Chain A
Amino acid sequence: MINKEVTIIDYGVGNLLSVRRGLEYNNASVSVTGDPEQILNSDRLVLPGVGAFANGMNELIKRDFVSLLSEIALKGTPILGICLGMQFLLDKSEEFGSTDGLGLIPGTVQAIPSMAQDGQKLKIPHIGWSNLIKPKEQNISWSGSILEGANESDALYFVHSFMAQPNNPDHLLAGCLYGGNFIPAVIQSENIMGCQFHPEKSGKVGLKMLSNFLEM
């Protein structure tokens, strides 16, 4: 029997129920908790998040989760940041001034370009289903990642105004195009990974990614 224990970090914001249901659908045994001891000893962690970056970081700081998460990251525990949770993984965000993130993957959170490649004005936030694409420059494999089994024609549900741009191109697994602009969709540095879309809201394809995470 494969161990599918997973902890969703509860820091007082957002809809945690949907992520929970998505994991449970994949037969995971899910805890939702803000207890540092339980978070530290978990086999896998999901860091969810919606809303504003600074707000969310404040909640993490208030609960002393910043150093806790660094410690856990070093242990090798798989951590999946979803949406704003993905953005937290980087060094800092440019949303409303500059705010420090968790610094687990080098990079910066930036505003989505508001202009399409053809000069048209884009609607922000980017809300809706976008296809995954592989980054052009390097030969990235999806096997063994949460994207195992996914295809470039698969669409996932995005809702965001900012995007998590890693410094190292090797940390960028997949993106999507919005108005022809490349937007990071999945990033990973060893046991630390993040997705900008909501796997728990992306139908079968998203559920498969949660299942992949539970195999890690």
Chain B
Amino acid sequence: MKHKKVRLISRLDIKGPNLIKGIHLEGLRVIGDPQEYAKKYYAQGADELIYIDIVASLYGRSKLPEIVSRTVEEVFVPLTVGGGIRNLDDVTELLRAGADKVAINTAAVQRPQLINEVSRKFGSQCMVLSIEAKKQSNDSWEVYTDSGREKTGIDAIDWAKEGVIQGAGEILLTSIDAEGTRKGFDIELIKSITQAVNIPVIASGGMGEQAHLEDAIELGDADAIAMADILHYERSSIPMIRDAAKKAGINVRDHD
């Protein structure tokens, strides 16, 4: 029996002012206004929302603080925000705008000490280490930065462990191979990371149908599931996914 409820999270990737979606984090397509989608997912009973500005680390300034402060006027569940965060000032700005947690990838790889600084100043619950991983062999994955564009040569399992030592409170784990494919999560990746660390792991990338969620939880031992295009394109909905999870015996939050 799992000790806690598995969180069903809507992930909204942002480019400029728009909600977008790609495949393998590339080939981006505009979906619409993130605010409208955030409201919809909140009303449907999403347990959390994640905003990731997927080009911010390339171009610097992002519209995220503005989008976040609009969102929290109408959305009353936790909000994790990432993309282009470089230092404590960026974190402060996003928290002031209404974010509850920040997700950091590129800047943390460049300077792991940043994880420690964020967690010391704002608490580890606020510091989500975002790991984008690409499969190398059967039991090894490489960390990528800049939304899947840059190789690092770093092993994802080692990096997850290092992140915990530095003070990360949670890991957002995105499989670049599975992302946008709708073919299911990279279960081996999820399993390897959840076995390596004792902090919650959010599995992201590949959710194409409700059964995929069961695999990520039962086989991968994920603590939370991030979903994007399955929701954006209405191939399913949070109420349907919640019901399916319940039927499979997974502990999820009740929502009316």
Contact = CB atoms under 8 A, between A and B. Distances in A.
A17 B4 contact: no
28 contacts: A15-B95, A17-B72, A17-B97, A21-B98, A22-B76, A50-B126, A51-B121, A51-B123, A116-B3, A122-B3, A123-B4, A124-B198, A125-B124, A125-B169, A127-B125, A127-B200, A128-B4, A128-B223, A129-B7, A155-B254, A157-B78, A159-B100, A160-B125, A201-B100, A202-B76, A203-B76, A203-B77, A204-B76
A33 to B, nearest CB: 16
A22 B77 CA distance: 10
Contacts of B199: 123
B100 A15 contact: yes
A128 B7 contact: yes
Interface in B147-184: 169-170
A75 B206 CA distance: 57
Main secondary structure of the interface of B (DSSP, over half): loop
A51 B120 CA distance: 8
Interface string B1-19: 0011101000000000000
Interface string B218-256: 000001100000000000000000000000000001110
Contacts of A31: none
A130 B4 contact: yes
A207 B72 CA distance: 13
B45 interface: yes
Contact of A153 (B7, B42, B254): B254
A178 B3 contact: yes
Interface of A: 14-15, 17-18, 21-22, 25, 50-52, 116, 120-130, 153-155, 157, 159-161, 178-180, 198, 200-204, 206-207
B115 to A, nearest CB: 15
B213 interface: no
Contact of B99 (A15, A198, A204): A15
A123 B76 contact: no
B61 interface: no
A131 to B, nearest CB: 8
A96 to B, nearest CB: 12
B69 interface: yes
B200 A17 contact: no
A203 B99 contact: no
Contact of B5 (A15, A123, A155, A160): A155
Nearest to A129: B253
B123 A15 contact: no
B122 interface: yes
A17 B68 CA distance: 11
B96 interface: yes
A129 B47 contact: yes
B45 A21 contact: no
A206 B253 CA distance: 14
B36 interface: no
B123 to A, nearest CB: 4
Contact of B76 (A121, A159, A161, A200): A200
Contacts of A116: 3
Given A25-B76, A157-B77, A50 B5 contact: no
A176 B238 CA distance: 25
A35 B63 CA distance: 32
B73 interface: yes
